[in-house]
Structure 1
Amino acid sequence: MTPPVIAPGSTAEIEAVMRIMDSAFDPAFGEAWNRGQVLGILSLSDVWLILATPEGELLPEGFALARQTIDEAELLLLAVRPEARMRGIGRALVEAVADEARGRGALRLMLEMRDGNPALALYSAAGFGQIGRRRDYYRGRDRSVHDAITLARPLGIDPNLVG
């Protein structure tokens, strides 16, 4: 499997980001962001966007959006188009975010996700461990209630940062 081409993104790639977003998130859970939310967060100086394009293709098939706060970074969104999954794109994006966060001085990379999200397997394989849970945090479009789980991965040398 050839790794994807990883590159920084900007608001200029909003069409590609929204194309991925619209296909990657199950509408039953309402987790996808809209164009205004993405453009708004990208206007902040501590936020970055990374795009993943399979080698030989013109359009990205995945993206990650992250932010930095002092010595922690947060993976806000990671999305891969369903037809491009299981090709290493998600893992490459996680590692690219971790590398960028480490370069910015972060000691820990965190994320929050809906319990039951199949991406948990990706994050566990990438070294994340659960450090918290918010009961009944997410509400599906069908009014179903789901916990949020908080995951963290150490980026520095302190193994106690995961929990």
Structure 2
Amino acid sequence: MTPARLAELHAAAFTHERPWTADEMGGLLDSPHVTLLPHPHGFALTRLILDEAELLTLAVDPAQQRQGIGDSLMRTWLDQLESRAATAFLEVAADNTPARALYHRHGFAVISTRPAYYRRTQGPDADALIMQRCFPYGKPRD
């Protein structure tokens, strides 16, 4: 999946804030710590440094949402962390109820808030919720 295609999917999925550009996607993909989890209708970009994992972004084509793609990408990511991570983090807009529910189903809990972090193209800015999942002994558990 090319950086241009990633940027296209990201722009379709994130219409309320500035989407990431192809150059930004390419820069992330150049990092040895970043992994792309592709799907024909979406993707996840993740990072693992030492024993700390982070979901950088997860995007699904709006026409394909609610079909299990996000759930599948999350399961793939968490399965890859087996014995490799002690914690995993992600950030989500407080008003993104479907994403929050997805992350909660996968064992993530809110640990912090960044007030008015997401600048919206219309309406008030949204808080960012920092979510974390800890893995006992470095192994994910569902």
- Do both proteins adopt the same fold according to a TM-score greater than 0.5, normalized to the shorter chain? yes
Q: Does 1:76 align with 2:56?
A: yes
Note the C-alpha offset of 1:88: 0.9
Q: Does 1:20 align with 2:9?
A: yes
Return the match for 1:34 from 2, 13, 21: 21
Determine what percentage of the aligned residue pairs are the same residue.
34
Q: Does 1:116 align with 2:95?
A: yes
Q: Which amino acid aligns with 1:114?
A: A
Whether the aligned pair in 2 keeps the contact of 1:98 and 1:155 (CA below 8 Å) is no
| TM-score, with length taken from structure 1 | 0.76
Q: Which amino acid aligns with 1:21?
A: H
Which ranges of 4 or more aligned residues in structure 1 deviate by more than 6 Å?
none
Note the C-alpha offset of 1:23: 1.4
What residue in structure 2 maps to residue 87 of structure 1? 67
Whether the aligned pair in 2 keeps the contact of 1:102 and 1:156 (CA below 8 Å) is no
What residue in structure 2 maps to residue 47 of structure 1? 34
> 3-state DSSP class of the match of 2:136?
coil
What runs of 5+ residues in structure 1 fail to find an aligned partner?
1-11, 53-59, 159-163
> 3-state DSSP class of the match of 1:33?
coil
Note the C-alpha offset of 1:157: 4.4
Q: Does 1:99 align with 2:87?
A: no
Deviations 1:138-163 (A, max 9, x none): 221247222110011223347xxxxx
What residue in structure 2 maps to residue 161 of structure 1? none
What runs of 5+ residues in structure 2 fail to find an aligned partner?
none
Whether the aligned pair in 2 keeps the contact of 1:65 and 1:77 (CA below 8 Å) is yes
What residue in structure 2 maps to residue 147 of structure 1? 127
Whether the aligned pair in 2 keeps the contact of 1:75 and 1:111 (CA below 8 Å) is yes
Q: Which protein shows a greater Rg? A: 1
Note the C-alpha offset of 1:106: 0.9
Whether the aligned pair in 1 keeps the contact of 2:117 and 2:126 (CA below 8 Å) is yes
Query: Structure 1 CA distance, aligned partners of 2:71 and 2:48?
Result: 20
